[in-house]
Structure 1
Amino acid sequence: MTRLTDHLIIISFDCLSALDYPILTDLPHFQTILKNGTYVENVETIYPSVTYPCHATIVTGNYPNRHGVINNTLLQPGRPSPDWNWYRHCIHGTTLYDEAKQANLTTAALLWPVTGKAGIDYNMPEIFANRPWQNQILVSLMNGTPSFQLDLNKRFGHIRNGLNQPELDDFVLESTVHTIKTKKPNLVMVHFTDLDTQRHYHGFSSTEAVAAIHRHNQRLGRILAALHESGIYENSTVVALGDHSALDENKVINLNVLFYNKKLITTNPKGRVINWQAYCKSCDGSAYIYINDKQDSATIQEVKQLLDSLLDDPTSGIEQVLTGEQAAAKGADGSCAFMLEAKRGYYFLEDMEGEYIQSFSREDAASNKKYTLACHGYSPEKEQYGTIFMAAGKGINQITLPSIRLIDEGPTFARLLGVSLGNTDGRVIEEMLTI
């Protein structure tokens, strides 16, 4: 298969929305991509529309129930900070970077989700120290390319302020620019989370979110300049994309409170879960309901009756209840007993104490970061909830497309690199390619 480009640079601006287009048209570096290549007005994300499943979809072309990354975090009932799907082995089947490596192309990934211990030539994975005894830098080194990361930390580590934004993205930017200039990889995947962070903590249309989009414009400009300075710009393809949008909220649904009250979850005197029959696993704007014993028909029936009563209650915050089979039909985890969709203004947490519905204000969110002012995870069927895609450079046509799906991106990237992801849920968007 013929390669259409020598260098594919995929830039994920986490939480960049289709609704951000009017802002992007006024920013010069986004304009460069929009005016000289393909722009997709609306990209249909996946369900649940959270970051790790989305990024696994982008590199596989498959829905979550096929690639295996069905949520950001693992099902670990009662754990205050569950582990995430950090590792390559969490993904079933092949990936874009695996196929690129197989074709003797050089690969680089900078804070790209679900790449811990991946076979990427230059890898700085997104992973954090989730145990008191762990050190952030050591955790990253152990799960990526040690020498590559040591060099980046030596050069640019002073920029970083832990995991805080915008400093983290500034560190990732300098690392990306240096990698392009010194390694000139055939595939670069970089993940920026500044905008997602600002929307979570300040709201979708906040001044902080708009400022993050402006910072992203500058970051994009630096990457374009690095390609020019490296002499590879004319043989490169640059993609700027979002993985999901976000919706504002001011109410939390704590379904595990009801499960706890019905003795479906039991804890010890310290509040640690010691047994559970049913558990609500949050995906922010949606949630999975898992039954510990899938043959426990009595618990399944009890939970179903509870959910039916909540669905009939206009104040419950629940918009839709899916069965496991219906969830699987939408690409989500079919091993759940039920999947819930929150109404606008609501999202799910996993608390077992307090009230079933908790309202909060901007002041509460500022003082207690358990609450966020905007989140995602909602169904792609929600109105005005699409994300965005744009690409320019070698192999890309000048065209505007009304819509594609997130699952279509991976096969299209593979075609640009002259490789294949096999039989995927998504398709190659040939309209945007100079085939």
Structure 2
Amino acid sequence: MNRLTDHLIVISFDCLSALDFPMLKELPHFSELLLNGAYCKNVESIYPSVTYPCHATIVTGNYPHRHGVVNNTYLQPGRLSPDWHWHRHHIKGTTLYDEAKKAGMRTGALLWPVTAKAEIDYNMPEIFANRPWHHQIPVSLFNGSIAYQLEMHRRFGSIRNGLNQPELDDFVLESAVHTIQAKKPHLLLVHFTDLDTQRHYHGFSSEQAMAALRRHDARLGRMVKALKEIGIYSQSTIVALGDHSALDHSVAIQPNNYFKEKGLITVDRRGKVTHWKAYCHSCDGSAYIYIRDKNDRDTKHFIQEWLQELLHDGRNGIEQVLTGDEAGARGADARCDFMLEARRGFYFKESLYGGFLHQITAEDVKAKRYTWGSHGYSPEKENYCTFFAAAGKGIIQQAIPSMRLIDEGPTFARLLGLHLGNTDGTVVEGLLAV
């Protein structure tokens, strides 16, 4: 299969929404991308629409139930900070970067989710120290390209302020610019989280979120400039995309607290979960409920009746209840016993304290116990689409009416002359100069 581009630069602006389009048209670098390439302001995300499943979908072209990353985090009942699906081995099947590597292309990834221990030439994976005895830099080094990461930290490490934003994205930007200039990768995947962070802690349309969009525009401009400065812009394709949108909320739904009260979850004096029959695993705007013993019909029947009662009163925040099979049919984890969708204004927490419903306060958010905005909701929610734009070699000027997140991977593969196999998504032929 013929390649349509020599260098594919994919930039994920986490939480970039279709609702941001009016502002993007007014920003200098995003507007240039829109003017010179193809774009879609109606991109359907996946279910659950959270970051790690979304990014695994982007590089595989498959829904979560096929690629295996069905949530950001592991099911670890009661743990205050569960482990995330950081590692490549969590993805079933091949990926865009695997196929590029097999074809002899130089590959790079900067804080791209689910790439720890991946076969990527220049890899700085998104992973954080999640044990008291861990330190961030060794954890990152051990799970990515050691020499490359050491060089990036030596050059630009002073920019970072732990995992805080916007400093983290500023560090990623300088690393990305240097990687473009020094390594000239054929495939580079870059993940920026500044906007997502601001929307979580300040709200969807907050000034902090708008400032992050302006910073993202400058970051896009810097990367385009780097391609031009080394003379490979005309041989390159640059993509700016979002993985999901977000919604504001003011109430947290906490089913595990109810399960604890009913004896389905047992905790010791320290608050540690010692036994559980049922557990709610949050995806923010949605949630899975797992029953530990699949033969425990009594517990399943009890929960099913309780959920039906909740549905009758909108004040409980539950918009929809799916069975495991129905969740699987939407691309989510079919192994769950139930999947819950929150109403607007609500999201799910795994807390074991504070009641079934918790009215969020400014103090809660300042202490980072709760947030003002989240994603994870069904892609069927109104005004909940994400965004895609591409320009450069292999791309025509075209407004695409609609597309799906699952279509991006196959389309990227086609640009690089690769194939991802039998995927849920298909190539968006309408934006390619074939």
Q: Return the letter of the residue paired with 2:209.
A: A
Calculate the TM-score normalised by the size of structure 2: 0.99
Residues 201 and 365 in structure 1, CA contact (< 8 A), matched pair in contact too:
no
CA distance, structure 1, for counterparts of residue 367 and residue 137 of structure 2: 27
Q: Which residue of 1 aligns with 2:23?
A: 23
Q: Which residue of 1 aligns with 2:376?
A: 377
Q: Which residue of 1 aligns with 2:68?
A: 68
Q: Which residue of 2 aligns with 1:354?
A: 354
By how many angstroms is 1:250 displaced?
Answer: 0.3
Aligned-pair identity in percent equals: 66
CA distance, structure 2, for counterparts of residue 230 and residue 72 of structure 1: 37
By how many angstroms is 1:360 displaced?
Answer: 1.7
SS of structure 1 residue aligned to 2:316: coil
By how many angstroms is 1:394 displaced?
Answer: 0.2
Residues 245 and 386 in structure 2, CA contact (< 8 A), matched pair in contact too:
yes
Q: Which residue of 1 aligns with 2:298?
A: 298
Q: Which residue of 1 aligns with 2:119?
A: 119
CA distance, structure 1, for counterparts of residue 341 and residue 315 of structure 2: 14
Calculate the TM-score normalised by the size of structure 1: 0.99
Does residue 92 (structure 1) correspond to residue 89 (structure 2)? The answer is no
CA distance, structure 1, for counterparts of residue 38 and residue 126 of structure 2: 28
Cα distance per residue 1:143-172 (max 9 Å; x no partner): 000000000000000000000000000000
Residues 327 and 333 in structure 2, CA contact (< 8 A), matched pair in contact too:
yes
SS of structure 1 residue aligned to 2:217: helix
Q: Which residue of 1 aligns with 2:429?
A: 430
Query: 326-335 or 306-315: which moved more?
Result: 306-315
CA distance, structure 2, for counterparts of residue 33 and residue 269 of structure 1: 57
Q: Return the letter of the residue paired with 1:407.
A: I
Q: Return the letter of the residue paired with 1:85.
A: H
- Written as runs of structure 1 = structure 2, the 5 A alignment for 1:266-415 is 266-361=266-361, 363-415=362-414
Q: Which residue of 1 aligns with 2:203?
A: 203
Q: Which residue of 1 aligns with 2:130?
A: 130
Residues 365 and 372 in structure 2, CA contact (< 8 A), matched pair in contact too:
no
Residues 52 and 72 in structure 2, CA contact (< 8 A), matched pair in contact too:
yes
Q: Return the letter of the residue paired with 2:423.
A: T
Q: Which residue of 1 aligns with 2:47?
A: 47
By how many angstroms is 1:367 displaced?
Answer: 2.8
Gaps of 5+ in 1: none
Q: Which residue of 2 aligns with 1:10?
A: 10
Q: Return the letter of the residue paired with 2:214.
A: H
Q: Which residue of 2 aligns with 1:418?
A: 417
Q: Return the letter of the residue paired with 1:261.
A: E
Q: Return the letter of the residue paired with 2:422.
A: N
Q: Return the letter of the residue paired with 1:432.
A: L
By how many angstroms is 1:315 displaced?
Answer: 1.3
Residues 365 and 373 in structure 1, CA contact (< 8 A), matched pair in contact too:
no
Query: 183-192 or 305-314: which moved more?
Result: 305-314
RMSD across aligned positions (CA)? 0.6
By how many angstroms is 1:323 displaced?
Answer: 0.2
Q: Return the letter of the residue paired with 1:331.
A: G
Cα distance per residue 1:319-352 (max 9 Å; x no partner): 0000000000000000000000000000000011
Residues 319 and 340 in structure 1, CA contact (< 8 A), matched pair in contact too:
yes
By how many angstroms is 1:366 displaced?
Answer: 4.1
By how many angstroms is 1:35 displaced?
Answer: 0.4
CA distance, structure 2, for counterparts of residue 150 and residue 356 of structure 1: 46
Cα distance per residue 1:267-289 (max 9 Å; x no partner): 11211111100000000000000
CA distance, structure 2, for counterparts of residue 375 and residue 400 of structure 1: 28
By how many angstroms is 1:395 displaced?
Answer: 0.2
Q: Return the letter of the residue paired with 2:219.
A: R
Residues 320 and 340 in structure 2, CA contact (< 8 A), matched pair in contact too:
yes
CA distance, structure 2, for counterparts of residue 339 and residue 153 of structure 1: 42
Q: Return the letter of the residue paired with 1:28.
A: P
Aligned residues: 434
Gaps of 5+ in 2: none
Q: Return the letter of the residue paired with 2:431.
A: M
- Written as runs of structure 1 = structure 2, the 5 A alignment for 1:153-232 is 153-232=153-232
CA distance, structure 1, for counterparts of residue 69 and residue 370 of structure 2: 24
CA distance, structure 1, for counterparts of residue 53 and residue 2 of structure 2: 30
CA distance, structure 2, for counterparts of residue 351 and residue 27 of structure 1: 40
CA distance, structure 2, for counterparts of residue 368 and residue 227 of structure 1: 41
By how many angstroms is 1:354 displaced?
Answer: 1.7
Cα distance per residue 1:291-338 (max 9 Å; x no partner): 001111111111111111111122111000000000000000000000
Q: Return the letter of the residue paired with 2:300.
A: I
Q: Which residue of 2 aligns with 1:82?
A: 82
Does residue 252 (structure 1) correspond to residue 261 (structure 2)? The answer is no
Residues 364 and 371 in structure 1, CA contact (< 8 A), matched pair in contact too:
no
Residues 254 and 355 in structure 1, CA contact (< 8 A), matched pair in contact too:
yes
CA distance, structure 2, for counterparts of residue 225 and residue 314 of structure 1: 51
Q: Return the letter of the residue paired with 2:281.
A: K
SS of structure 2 residue aligned to 1:315: helix
By how many angstroms is 1:375 displaced?
Answer: 0.5
CA distance, structure 2, for counterparts of residue 312 and residue 221 of structure 1: 50
Cα distance per residue 1:116-166 (max 9 Å; x no partner): 000000000000000000010000000000000000000000000000000
